[in-house]
Amino acid sequence: MKPHFNQLLEGTDLSFEETKALFNACFQEEVSDTELSAILVALKMKQPTAEELAGLAEVIHTNSPFQFELELPAMDNCGTGGDRSNSFNISTCAAFVLAGAGVTVAKHGNRRISSQTGSADVLEELGVSLDLTKSQMKYMLQENQIAFLFAQHVHPTLKQIAGVRQKLRTPTIFNLVGPLTNPVALHSQLVGVYSNDALPIVAKSLQTLGRKRALVIHGAGGMDEASLQGENNYILLENNELKAGSIHPEEVGLSVYTNQEIEGDDAKRNAEILLSVLNGEPGAYLDTVLFNTAIALFAIGRVDSVKDGMEIARHSVFSGNAKAKLDTLVDYSQEAKQEVV
């Protein structure tokens, strides 16, 4: 560990393999909070590279006791958080719309970061279990096209690092790496990031990690989701090449709304918003979810354009398919809890 740490102190970038060696040592050896803090601060001061981000993500993924593969291609649509927008749970809601459209979604998430309510908070409010076993998660993904993977549950090795991050009280490489650490072997991803500067770093990391196809987006008004407020910048990973682009909601027939119009609140209120969207209640909340779902469908190559994805997203909601995916996950969660009791 020491040679690579010294490289960071000197401002030298680590390779993918060197980063893996450094953090594998952190997870497998007795490392003090002071040593962990020094590593994270050194990376922050130097500014993390795509290789370092991918190396850390790979270590977290392989150290999870919940890692597994599926017969069908799976995706995730988790964002980094950190945009301080206080928006409702857009990607969580979109995940059910994607599942209703036949996409297998291993929805990775955590408790609140930049919003008042994180994906884990709102799903817990709705009755979804946060501590399903690996076999139960796999069953739900195969039978229901969606399962929730609570980050704190599926990455127990990160407990010490979580404590160090709280004490540091400053953004670190871990503010970017979360969406890249899903324990399921993903085929593709839609990743929202909190700044334009993070777009190429995260996109190149996904390329290094071997995603077949992915899209990294930064929303209008500084959101880590696609926003209806204006132009959204993205980088698409396709055929191992990175292509920059942008998209405006009016290009797909949607009205413009400010980000303030999609703000959320506590878990109870956000659960109400999520249900209203899945029940097809018109307005900014629904349109935002449809937009993000359509972009996710484009990200995985299901459609040739985001506009084409809008029709599929609408059908998932108005056919009741999206809501049925949530209902099945809640029912299964309740049955699982009764079995434990």
Question: Does the annotation list 111 as a binding residue?
Answer: yes
Provide long-range contacts, Cβ within 8 A and 24+ apart, for 161-167: 161/26, 161/36, 163/33, 164/33, 164/36, 164/37, 164/40, 165/40, 167/33, 167/37
Question: Does the annotation list 4 as a binding residue?
Answer: no
Question: Does the annotation list 314 as a binding residue?
Answer: no
- In eight-state DSSP terms, residue 158 is G
Question: Does the annotation list 280 as a binding residue?
Answer: no
For the chain, counts of helices (H) and of strands (E): 15, 7
Task: Check if the beta carbon of residue 285 is closer than 8 Å to that of residue 277.
Answer: yes
Question: Does the annotation list 92 as a binding residue?
Answer: yes
Question: Does the annotation list 319 as a binding residue?
Answer: no
Question: Does the annotation list 91 as a binding residue?
Answer: yes
- Tell me whether residue 233 is exposed, middle or buried, using C-beta atoms within 10 angstroms of its C-beta: 0 to 12, 13 to 18, 19 or more: middle
Per-residue DSSP letters for 74-142? EEE----------B--HHHHHHHHHHHTT-EEEEEE-S-SSSSS-HHHHHHHHT--S---HHHHHHHHH
- In eight-state DSSP terms, residue 250 is G
Query: Nearest-CA neighbor of 297 among 104, 113, 109, 141?
Result: 104
Question: Does the annotation list 217 as a binding residue?
Answer: no
3-state secondary structure of 184: strand
Question: Does the annotation list 108 as a binding residue?
Answer: yes
Q: Which residues lie closer than 8 Å to 161 by C-beta, 6 or more apart? A: 26, 36, 174
Question: Does the annotation list 82 as a binding residue?
Answer: yes
Question: Does the annotation list 110 as a binding residue?
Answer: yes
Question: Does the annotation list 266 as a binding residue?
Answer: no
Question: Does the annotation list 112 as a binding residue?
Answer: yes
Question: Does the annotation list 90 as a binding residue?
Answer: yes
Residues that constitute the known binding site for anthranilate: 79, 110, 165
Residues that constitute the known binding site for Mg(2+): 91, 224-225
Residues that constitute the known binding site for 5-phospho-alpha-D-ribose 1-diphosphate: 79, 82-83, 87, 89-92, 107-115, 119
Residues that constitute the known binding site: 79, 82-83, 87, 89-92, 107-115, 119, 165, 224-225
